[in-house]
Amino acid sequence: MSKKAWIICSGCLIAGLVIGYFVALAQAGSTIANTLAILQLTETGQASDRAYQAYQHESSPVAIYAFIEALERLKTAEDYGATPIYTKQMMAFDGLMLHGRLAKLYLTAGRTNLCEQQVADALKCVQYIPACRAITNQAALMELIAKADKKTMSPNTAPEPTATRP
């Protein structure tokens, strides 16, 4: 082989290795990003679950603290941005429910200023949820929270089978 052929082969080999290296980096970066998104979703979901459990079973101050913690986790997730796994609409719905339940707790505790702030924050979330655009005020928000609470707090019992008589 001539010297020119060796140089061309060597150049192609080096170019192929460089391209392969950057493709592998991009693939690894995508995998890492997806893993971090799943981790963020898991942490946010766990904080929301803890808050809801406190809402159902604990005193108001404990539930309020748990909701504030869950909202901080949600804010962190929003700062990272939406992902294919945890979309902006999902984040908005989680925010709507967290802010709405926290507003209900504040309202029950007689802390109307804090309640109004949570209602305002919840209504900001509505703009990202097409199905909830009818929620425009505190009364509509409290109605949604009451319906959701009634649905989730009632025991999930299957209807009794009916026996047919001959």
The CATH code of the domain that includes 131 is 1.25.40
pLDDT of residue 165: 38
Max CA distance (Å), the chain: 98
Q: Report DSSP state, residue 161.
A: P
Query: Would 35 be classed as within a structural domain?
Result: no
In the predicted structure, residue 62 carries a pLDDT above the cut 90: yes
Interatomic CA distance for residues 137 and 121, integer angstroms = 11
Separation CA 66–CA 77 (nearest Å)? 17
What is the CB neighbour count within 10 angstroms for residue 90? 17
Q: How many domains does the chain have?
A: 1
Assigned domain for 28 exists: no
Q: What angle do CA 104, 51, 139 make, to 5 degrees?
A: 20
What distance in Å separates the CA atoms of residue 36 and residue 64, rounded to the nearest whole number? 28
Min mean pLDDT across 21-30, 42-51, 145-154 is at: 21-30
Domain holding 118, by residue range, is: 43-150
What's the rounded Cα separation, in Å, for the pair 98 and 102? 6
- Integer CA distances (angstroms), 127 to 93, 137, 146, 149, in order: 10, 13, 21, 22
Predicted TM-score (pTM) of the model is 0.72
